[in-house]
Amino acid sequence: MSFEEPNSDGQDIREVERAIMSRPAEHNTTNLDLDRMSLILDLLGHPEQSFRVIHITGTNGKGSTARMAEAIARTYGMRTGLYTSPHLERINERIAIDGQELSDERFVDVYRQIEDFITMVDDRFAKEGRPPMSFFEVLTAMAIWAFADAPVDVAVVEVGMGGLWDATNVLSADVAVIGPVDLDHMQWLGDTVEQIATEKAGIIKEGSTVIVGPQPHEEAVMPIIEAAARERGAARVLHDGQELEVVSRMPAVGGQVATLRTPNGEYTEVPIDKFGAHQAHNALAALAAAEIVIPVSGTLNQDLVDEALSEVRVPGRIEQIRNSPTIIIDGGHNLNAAQSLREAIEENYHFEQLVGVVAMMADKQVEDYLGVLEPIMDQIIVTENSWRDRVMPAEDLEKIAKQVFGPDRVIRRDSLPDAIQEAVNMVDAEDETGLGYGRGVLICGSFVTAGDARTLLKEHHNPDLDKPKSERA
């Protein structure tokens, strides 16, 4: 038996990914400035000035809003760039042009084109005793370079964390979208919603249109956003619930239909290929943002809007990836995400039995997150994902889960494949029809957990998830 040599391109992408991801984290306290990003863009000749920008922040909903806005602009015939994070399975997912993530070859090529400039920045800052570019700064510079090289008409850019000191904030956006602001990443953004709102309002620039989503802490957050808009000379502020409105919505097969109103007019019964009221509000923000960057007056063509929003896929966000039994994955990790997940499941599914598979990071509000989801789960299997540096040990998660669910409803399996298999076995054991109706598995707690699960559950034979021989027919 002979074996082929490893594909050189595949080796290149792995080498480049290792080089990028081995850099300092973006939230390192010594990296809280835009100096490195400003320098590399200066060295590159300011490629960020060649396209329009929709910049999106918020505690939740950034990725969904970004994909929806990009889809509308692309369906309208604009060349688009999309920059999102984190990635679930492949680092290439973070950078897309015209709806297609960069190929391995193109991703490596973009990195090689700016590699010497990265080194120049690192060397200059090393002389000052300051840290090198973080992995997120390198990826952001790559995205900007790729977008300018394409060239794109508009880039839709998701903030990595916060806003004010985020690497993406070197962009001067035409539209600043601020989704719901809630408590998350407190060790870096602040302990109060006021502090976090200040960080997120940092993306507002002179002349930009600010789109503000529904705020769970409106009285605390809105004065901060309004003040930032005034001080920085924003063109106008559009509020969900005032100038913008989800007029009506109802669940539909695979998602929902909603009537959305913007200052330009009303779009009736728009099909949205995602579950949950929060996704209707994300679609509204995306639509309002697209109206600003698409060069037409008045309302957009509803047929094109319908086409775009009916086809948006958002990996890892309340994503059903299997039937019989139903398997749903969700990467949300904070209270706002947990509440949206619970509401979407209660509205769109009618489970007789739902088993949760949960792995979370140690720095999250674990007990509160589990408390939100406890009423919809019959049992919970606690486990660990692949991010060993940050994941909460399954033993610790088990202790918290027992306090929330009671010891009789908690099972621990230290590996994610074993946990998923246990959950599938549990729902199969109660399924007298063999069709999986009314029975489901919910895998959640972290985007790393969601990404690991997506990889494990791809449509190919995976021996880690085989049923025991006695259960095979």
pLDDT digits (tens, 9 = 90+) for 396-421: 999 999 999 999 999 999 999 999 99
Q: Using DSSP, state whether 379 is helix, strand or coil.
A: strand
- Higher-confidence residue: 305 or 196? 305
Least confident of 21-30, 89-98, 283-292: 21-30
Q: Please give the angle made by the CA atoms of 362, 366 and 370, to the nearest 5 degrees.
A: 145
Instruction: List beta partners, residue 82.
Output: 96, 156
pLDDT tier at 436, thresholds 50, 70, 90: low
Question: Does pLDDT of 227 surpass 70?
Answer: yes
Of 414-418, 436-440, 469-473, give the range with the top mean pLDDT. Answer: 414-418
Name the superfamily (CATH) of residues 8-309. Mur-like, catalytic domain (3.40.1190.10)
Fill in the amino acid letter for 315.
P
Q: For the chain, which residues make up each domain, given as ranges?
A: 8-309, 319-471
Fill in the amino acid letter for 360.
M
Question: Does pLDDT of 26 surpass 80?
Answer: no
- Say what the pLDDT of residue 6 is: 36
Least confident of 6-10, 215-219, 273-277, 302-306: 6-10
For residue 361, the 8-state DSSP code is B
Least confident of 110-119, 179-188, 459-468: 459-468
Answer for the pair 256, 279: CB distance below 8 angstroms, yes or no: yes
Average pLDDT of the chain?
A: 90
Q: Please give the angle made by the CA atoms of 42, 43 and 49, to the nearest 5 degrees.
A: 45
Question: Does pLDDT of 470 surpass 50?
Answer: no
Fill in the amino acid letter for 350.
H
Q: Which of 226, 212, 136 is nearest to 181 (CA)?
A: 212
Sheet with 439-444: strands ordered across:
319-322, 326-330, 439-444, 353-358, 379-382, 410-412
For the residues of 220-288, what is the DSSP string, one character each? HHHHHHHHHHHHTT-SEEEEBTTTBEEEEEEEETTEEEEEEEETTEEEEEEEESS-SHHHHHHHHHHHH
pLDDT tier at 195, thresholds 50, 70, 90: confident
Close Cβ partners of 120 (under 8 Å, ≥ 6 residues apart)? 43
Question: Does pLDDT of 471 surpass 70?
Answer: no
> CA 194, 200, 204, 209: dihedral to nearest 10 degrees?
-100
- Say what the pLDDT of residue 333 is: 82
pLDDT tier at 465, thresholds 50, 70, 90: very low
Mean pLDDT, residues 307-319 taken together = 91
Close Cβ partners of 138 (under 8 Å, ≥ 6 residues apart)? 20, 23, 111, 118
- Higher-confidence residue: 28 or 279? 279
- Say what the pLDDT of residue 259 is: 98
Least confident of 77-86, 256-265, 418-427, 428-437: 428-437
pLDDT digits (tens, 9 = 90+) for 339-360: 989 999 999 998 999 999 999 9
Q: Which of 191, 107, 90, 88 is nearest to 146 (CA)?
A: 107
To the question of domain 319-471 being in CATH 3.90.76.10, the answer is: no
Write phi, then psi, for 362 (nearest 5 degrees).
Answer: -70, -20
Residue matched to tokens 């990071």? 361
Task: Please state whether 431 falls in left (phi above 0), alpha (psi between -120 and 50) or beta.
Answer: beta
Q: Six-digit token pair at 192?
A: 């109060």
- Say what the pLDDT of residue 444 is: 96
Instruction: List beta partners, residue 439.
Output: 353
Answer for the pair 159, 178: CB distance below 8 angstroms, yes or no: no
pLDDT tier at 440, thresholds 50, 70, 90: very high
Residue matched to tokens 């660990």? 384
Strands 326-330 and 353-358 turn out to be unpaired
